[in-house]
Amino acid sequence: MANTPPGHRALRKGRVSLAHHIYLVTAVTSAREPVFADPRAADIACRCFHAGNRLTATRLLAWVLMPDHAHWLLQLGEGETLPDTVARLKSVSSHEVNRLLKRQGRLWAHAYHDRALRHDDDMLAVARYIVANPIRAGLVRRVGDYPWWNAIWL
């Protein structure tokens, strides 16, 4: 891990994967490049998130794709780990977006931030916070005006 950014090890410290637990994950693009400002890239990444959600026991409960990052609220499936789940989300979307845009190299930054929700956390409030991200970023005035998000409750 000689070329691993210094903060990466700190992000992994204490990371635990527990089946059926809920995690809020934030992943940024490499160098915070706004790749998903291109609607074609955003569309294909979202299709990858949907497809991956059907092929695994992990459930994407809510998510939003911003120009240079993504937030995922997910419930880990039995026998799955958080690092493997995040790697799968990033890998499939990277492959498809790079192919579409005829680009090479890393799409997503190597590290990601995660927080395990406690039992007393309001999952619906966290989901609302996630999908309202485009409003706070000044991209839209209403959640429904932003096309790259989903939540099982809405």
Structural domains in the chain plus CATH codes: 8-141 (3.30.70.1290)
pTM of the model: 0.86
pLDDT tens digit sequence for 48-85: 998 877 778 899 999 999 999 999 999 999 999 999 99
Q: Which DSSP state fits 111?
A: -
Task: Kindly list the distances between the CA atom of residue 112 and the CA atoms of 49, 54, 120, in Å, as whole numbers in the listed order.
Answer: 16, 23, 24
Q: Calculate the average pLDDT of the chain.
A: 89
Per-residue pLDDT tens over the stretch 111-135: 999 999 988 789 999 999 999 999 9
Residue (of 61, 79, 83, 74) closest to 22 by Cα position = 74
Which of helix, strand or coil describes residue 142?
coil
**Tokens 């309001």 appear where?**
122
* pLDDT tens per residue, range 1-12: 445 554 444 444
Helical (H) or strand (E) element with 135: helix 133-136
Please name the residues in contact with 88: beta carbons below 8 A apart, sequence gap of 6 or more.
52, 56
